């Protein structure tokens, strides 16, 4: 009779975990499609399909390897109010003597399981997920609550500590940061060279039927043939494709955006040179170490990957990914309520449809609804920037990002959204608000030429809305921003403009703010 129940959550599909080194008939693993997880926010339908398909694939692989596994679908779990109710049932049903789980990455779930275990009369045990570079119990020595941490400092420390791209005591090639070389825009001739993305065709039609049968509210375009990787071998194939085809230009074009390829009927404008590995990594099908090691191996052996490309990539995973996790755990739960800029407007309707005349936003939102994906700069400088300068309530912004993206799990979504993009944490994640006018979009994309609005204009009915909104935002927060060395200069230029000019811009911004749904 099995007497230990081990819970595996949907984002804990780590086949390399020490749990699986030994097989025992005394251990039963449970993987369950939970109504509470499908409903805690309105998810993109591809995101739910991808998680369920990956969970099923993981359960089958464990079973094949000789482990005892119970897989429960939405049908099986519908009568349990929540996860604790389900576990209690399984404990009784299978005469369980010990309940074990891996520490959830999300505060909400970690609290739920910790509270549940407190009132259990059998033994319970929480394990590290063995996924991140830093173990859970190391985070507190790197991150302090409320402290304004900086990525660059943390990242260099991580490079040295894990001996990644190092040469004795210094960075390989003598330079830590290649950001300034990694800001290219696509020229017309670059567009033709962008590789077609490697996509998969995982049949999720049964899962879609289940989602519908259980009336789970979703957003986005459903796909019966899911293109996202749902098992370790697909994740590895995507990683190999990235290292060979995309890494050679990853850094160079990591901030670039284009709307041209969709017009030409080509399906590669959404993926560009990005790895699209975030879902596979966040679900733990593949480890951050194996991704970084494979990329560095390609850098050493392929001959067409320069240091700026590999450094740009390593920075995202060894740096940003570990960094935002540390910020999250040091500051939860109160991080979730921070609203340093007192932003309060509702998210415009077109965030759910893509139906706006602003070409950059229409492209980013439509792509997100179609693929459950947008790359970093689309998230930060298109949708995120709009919400920031328009003063949208960060709860609503967080909620949108948490639902729409394939890789959205709160520990990574929230510090990126509420912190980096909305500055609602007052600078815990970043040293300044990432606010920009239309000029930034013009510099990094080809959207503006095809837009209804004129990017060079700030006032007038056809002026790019981002321009007046940007100045309105800077003006509104001038007291706090004049003390920030990174925004001081811009503000002083604005304040030097004649009062009548400023008034005209602010009047245009007021009009836009009252008509956000119609832009
Ligand atoms: C407002 C906003 C919300 C975001 N929400 C999420 C989210 O919910 N989940 C998520 O995984 N990422 C999030 N990011 C970070 C980043 O945008 C995505 O990780 C990336 O776009 C995923 O696509 P990719 O795999 O093609 O990444 P690539 O561009 O190929 O980058 C490689 C990998 O680096 C990691 N990475 C890159 N940037 C970050 C970052 N800022 N924080 C953490 N990891 C990073 C990811 O694991 C990613 O797979 C968000 C960024 C912003 C600005
Ligand atoms: S003109 Fe303004 S709204 Fe239009 S695409 Fe350019 S930045 Fe976006």
Residue nearest to atom 2 of ligand 2 (CA): 464
Ligand 2 atom at minimal distance to the Cα of residue 448: 6
Q: What are the CA-CA distances from residue 343 to residues 391, 423, 508 (Å)?
A: 5, 10, 19
Ligand 2 atom at minimal distance to the Cα of residue 466: 2
Residue nearest to atom 22 of ligand 1 (CA): 278
pTM here? 0.97
376 alpha carbon to ligand 1 midpoint, in Å? Answer: 6
73 alpha carbon to ligand 2 midpoint, in Å? Answer: 45
6 alpha carbon to ligand 2 midpoint, in Å? Answer: 51
**In this predicted structure, what is the pLDDT of residue 370?**
95
278 alpha carbon to ligand 1 midpoint, in Å? Answer: 6
Give the DSSP letter of residue 471: H
Q: Ligand 1 pocket check: which of 235, 367, 407 to mutate, most ligand atoms within 8 Å of Cβ?
A: 407
Q: What CATH number does the domain located at 4-127 have? A: 3.40.50.620
* One-letter-per-residue 3-state SS of 127-193: ECCCCCCCCHHHHHHHCCCCCCCCHHHHHHHHHHHCCCCEECCEEHHHCCCCHHHCCCCCCHHHHHH
447 lines ligand 2 (CB under 6 A): yes
411 alpha carbon to ligand 1 midpoint, in Å? Answer: 12
Q: Ligand 2 pocket check: which of 357, 382, 464, 467 to mutate, most ligand atoms within 8 Å of Cβ?
A: 464
Q: Ligand 1 pocket check: which of 247, 274, 416 to mutate, most ligand atoms within 8 Å of Cβ?
A: 416
Q: Are strands 166-167 and 98-102 parallel, antiparallel or unpaired?
A: unpaired
358 lines ligand 2 (CB under 6 A): yes
Ligand 1 atom at minimal distance to the Cα of residue 375: 21
Kindly identify the ligand whose nearest atom is closest to the C-alpha of 363: 2
Residue nearest to atom 8 of ligand 2 (CA): 360
Q: Pick from 7, 33, 1, 35: which is nearest to 19 by CA? A: 7
Ligand 1 pocket residues where CB is under 6 Å: 274-278, 281-282, 316-317, 320-321, 324, 375-376, 379-380, 384, 401, 405, 407-408, 412-413, 416-417, 420-421
Ligand 1 atom at minimal distance to the Cα of residue 408: 8
CATH superfamily of 349-518: DNA Cyclobutane Dipyrimidine Photolyase, subunit A, domain 3 (1.10.579.10)
Dist CA 244 CA 198 (whole Å) = 12
**In this predicted structure, what is the pLDDT of residue 263?**
57
Q: What are the CA-CA distances from residue 314 to residues 77, 162, 480 (Å)?
A: 40, 12, 34
The values of phi and psi at residue 99, to 5°, are -110, 125
218 membership: H or E segment, kind and range: strand 218-219
**219: three-class secondary structure by DSSP:** strand
Question: Residue ranges per domain, the chain?
Answer: 4-127, 143-330, 349-518
**In this predicted structure, what is the pLDDT of residue 377?**
95
Q: Pick from 334, 426, 414, 349: which is nearest to 379 by CA? A: 414
The values of phi and psi at residue 127, to 5°, are -110, 155
Dist CA 471 CA 258 (whole Å) = 25
**In this predicted structure, what is the pLDDT of residue 304?**
94
The gap between the terminal CA atoms of the chain, to the nearest Å, is: 64
Q: Ligand 1 pocket check: which of 247, 284, 294, 376 to mutate, most ligand atoms within 8 Å of Cβ?
A: 376
Dist CA 415 CA 150 (whole Å) = 13
Dist CA 453 CA 11 (whole Å) = 42
**In this predicted structure, what is the pLDDT of residue 1?**
45
Ligand 1 atom at minimal distance to the Cα of residue 242: 30
Kindly identify the ligand whose nearest atom is closest to the C-alpha of 43: 1
Kindly identify the ligand whose nearest atom is closest to the C-alpha of 282: 1
CB 286 within 8 A of CB 232: yes
Residue nearest to atom 6 of ligand 2 (CA): 448
CB 410 within 8 A of CB 108: yes
Residue nearest to atom 3 of ligand 2 (CA): 358
Helix, strand, coil shares, percent, the chain, to 5:
55, 10, 40
84 alpha carbon to ligand 1 midpoint, in Å? Answer: 31
Residue nearest to atom 7 of ligand 2 (CA): 438
Ligand 2 atom at minimal distance to the Cα of residue 382: 8
441 lines ligand 2 (CB under 6 A): yes
Residue nearest to atom 42 of ligand 1 (CA): 321
Ligand 1 atom at minimal distance to the Cα of residue 422: 1
448 lines ligand 2 (CB under 6 A): yes
Q: Which fold has domain 143-330?
A: 1.25.40
Ligand 2 atom at minimal distance to the Cα of residue 450: 5
Kindly identify the ligand whose nearest atom is closest to the C-alpha of 445: 2
**In this predicted structure, what is the pLDDT of residue 2?**
55
What are the mean pLDDT values of the chain's consecutive 10-residue runs (519 residues total)? 88 98 96 96 98 98 97 97 96 96 98 97 97 97 93 96 93 91 87 92 97 97 96 98 97 92 70 96 98 97 94 97 98 97 97 97 96 96 98 98 98 98 94 93 95 97 97 93 83 93 97 97
360 lines ligand 2 (CB under 6 A): yes
Report cis status (omega within 30 of 0) of the bond before 397.
Answer: no
**444: three-class secondary structure by DSSP:** helix
464 lines ligand 2 (CB under 6 A): yes
């Amino acid at each position: 009779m099995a007497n230990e129940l081990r819970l595996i959550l949907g984002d804990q599909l780590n086949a390399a975990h020490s749990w699986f080194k030994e097989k025992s008939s005394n251990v039963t693993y449970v993987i369950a499609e939970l109504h509470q997880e499908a409903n805690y926010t309105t998810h993109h339908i591809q995101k739910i399909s991808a998680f369920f398909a990956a969970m099923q694939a993981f359960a089958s692989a464990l079973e094949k390897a000789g482990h005892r596994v119970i897989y429960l679908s939405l049908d099986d779990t519908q009568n349990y109010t929540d996860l604790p109710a389900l576990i209690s049932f399984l404990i009784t049903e299978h005469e369980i003597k010990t309940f074990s789980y891996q520490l959830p990455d999300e505060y909400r779930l970690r609290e739920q399981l910790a509270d549940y275990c407190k009132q259990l009369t059998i033994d319970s045990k929480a394990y590290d997920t063995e996924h991140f570079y830093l173990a859970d119990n190391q985070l507190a020595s790197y991150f302090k609550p409320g402290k304004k941490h900086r990525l660059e400092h943390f990242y260099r420390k991580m490079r040295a500590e894990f001996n990644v791209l190092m040469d004795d005591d210094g960075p390989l090639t003598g330079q830590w940061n290649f950001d300034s070389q990694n800001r290219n825009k696509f020229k017309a001739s670059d567009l033709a060279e962008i590789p077609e993305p490697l996509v998969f065709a995982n049949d999720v039609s049964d899962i879609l039927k289940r989602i519908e049968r259980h009336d789970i509210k979703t957003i986005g375009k459903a796909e019966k043939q899911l293109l996202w990787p749902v098992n370790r071998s697909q994740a590895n194939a995507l990683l190999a494709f990235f290292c060979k085809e995309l890494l050679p230009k990853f850094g160079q074009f990591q901030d670039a955006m284009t709307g041209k390829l969709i017009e030409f009927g080509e399906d590669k404008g959404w993926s560009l040179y990005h790895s699209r590995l975030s879902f596979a990594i966040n679900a733990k099908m593949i480890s951050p170490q194996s991704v970084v090691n494979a990329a560095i191996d390609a850098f050493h052996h392929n001959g067409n990957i320069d240091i700026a490309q590999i450094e740009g990539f390593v920075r995202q995973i060894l740096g940003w990914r570990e960094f935002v996790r540390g910020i999250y755990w040091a500051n939860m739960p109160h991080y979730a309520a921070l609203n340093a800029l007192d932003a309060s407007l509702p998210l415009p309707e077109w965030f759910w449809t893509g139906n706006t005349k602003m070409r950059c936003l229409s492209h980013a939102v439509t792509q997100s609804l179609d693929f459950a994906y947008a790359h970093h700069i689309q998230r930060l400088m298109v949708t995120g920037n709009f919400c920031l300068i328009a003063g949208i309530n960060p709860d609503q912004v967080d909620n949108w990002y948490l639902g729409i993206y394939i890789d959205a799990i709160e520990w990574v979504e929230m510090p990126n959204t509420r912190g980096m993009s909305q500055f609602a944490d007052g600078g815990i994640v970043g040293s300044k608000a990432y606010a920009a006018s239309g000029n930034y979009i013009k510099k990094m994309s080809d959207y503006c030429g095809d837009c209804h609005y004129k990017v060079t204009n700030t006032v007038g009915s056809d002026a790019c809305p981002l321009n007046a909104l940007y100045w309105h935002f800077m003006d509104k927060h001038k007291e706090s921003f004049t003390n920030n060395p990174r925004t001081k200069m811009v503000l002083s230029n604005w304040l030097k403009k004649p009062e009548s000019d400023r008034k005209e811009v602010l009047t245009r911004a007021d009009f836009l703010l009252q008509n956000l749904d119609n832009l």
